[in-house]
Structure 1
Amino acid sequence: MKELTTDHISQQFNQELEMLRQHFLTMGGVVETQVENAVQALLEAQGELAEEVRERDASVNQLDGLIDEECTRILAKRQPAASDLRMILSISKAVSELERIGDEAKKIASLSLTLMGEGETHRGYVEINRIGQMVSKMINQSLDAYARLDVDLAIKVANKDRKVDREYETALRSLVTYMMEDPRSISNIINVIWVLRSLERIGDHARHTCQHLIYMIKGVDVRHVKAKDLKSELEDAE
């Protein structure tokens, strides 16, 4: 595995950067589990698991605050430059994406409890399962890309968001048609659509996480570059 940190005269600085890296990856692992559990709670009607996801969001917020404090302290104390500065800025922004993923997982868990109370029709659950698996894999691979400083993998993950968007749009059209045919299902289906919307947003945040990694490694801001153009944009920058 590659190291996120570089060698410094100060061993303590190395340790601070490595601790920041570890906390980021730990938070990523917690968030990934939150998403998987939220989807599982819905698909399997596990109310207790949905409640656990909602309660565990506090842990995500604590890690967010901890990492933010670490970034601020390192910036003030060490005044890093070049790649070290990009690393800290990248992680600071990527952590915000992870925190938002955690929020969406909590939202899915809350919607799961509502759907259980309404008596689910299970309409749209196949799509939730499929898109849920897609975005969970995106989160996993984006964290792997951070751990290995793998730009190619980051580009690959960012491109997967287009497929998530297409799946979401297809599911949305199908569910809207179903509501028109059966107005009694409107309340239930709207909640299913909100779940799908949260999953689509999770895909967006995973893509943004990869864009922050690309900036860290390459020093190129690709936040406004379309995923399909990332590779050519980086080649032009070299």
Structure 2
Amino acid sequence: MQTTIQHLYKPSNDDNSLFYAWFLAMHTRVDIILCSRKSEGELLLVVNRIYDALCRLEKMANFYNPASELSVVNRTAFVSPVVLSEELYSMIDLCLEYNSKTLGCFDVTVHSENYNQNTIHSVHLSAGDHSICFSQPGVTINLSGFLKGYALETIRGILNEALIENALINMGNSSILALGNHPVGSGWKINDILLHNECLTTSGNDSPNRRHIVSPRNGKLVEGVKQIAVVTTDGSIGEILSTGLFAADSEQREALLGIYRQYRVYI
């Protein structure tokens, strides 16, 4: 059954009509603010497109749903190559690329059986037919540390197609896309961080009992109550970097901060 999309609409005679919608998707609450001259009905159609896109991504890449395309890959790619949808192929390809670009700190195979830092090299993509295979048993790919950032870029595409230039998308307070300007100011201020056509992505532990990021160094959950936020122009890259920086040790983190000094990082 489809989740109820709730919304409020405040019309205006100028360009600042406000549309606020919220719903549950991808295991979190999604809040959407749109500033546009479009009608209430038109904006509701845009939000429905966003909701449908998030449901599609979850059906494709949810690690915990046995019916997802990703779960089928995890069960069968060691037995024989699996032809991927174009979108899932591009997602996995990007994640493999950024394993080396984050000094191994971002690793989508950390939930594999008998994991070690070489496990990711058991994942093989074929660009010719967009297939994937695993060269050892027990390998699994988990895109949970990447998917919300990718979702932000999918939403950006929908808003661009709808010619909506001013918007704020908040997925669970950890993955945020800010386009254009707030109706009464420049950019969008989130916890004293001003965003303008940027994404804010956050990774970390908010309590000693809520740990979920695995360290590629030892395959164990990262301890400690802390969070790392990254501001980037691309949500996918932001999600990768916030996850990688959180999983990194102090030496790796210092090196990554130097490599990606063009981005704002908050620890």
TM-score where L is the length of structure 1: 0.30
Structure with higher RCO (Cα < 8 A, 6+ apart): 1
Whichever structure has more strand as a proportion of its residues is: 2
Whichever structure has more helix as a proportion of its residues is: 1
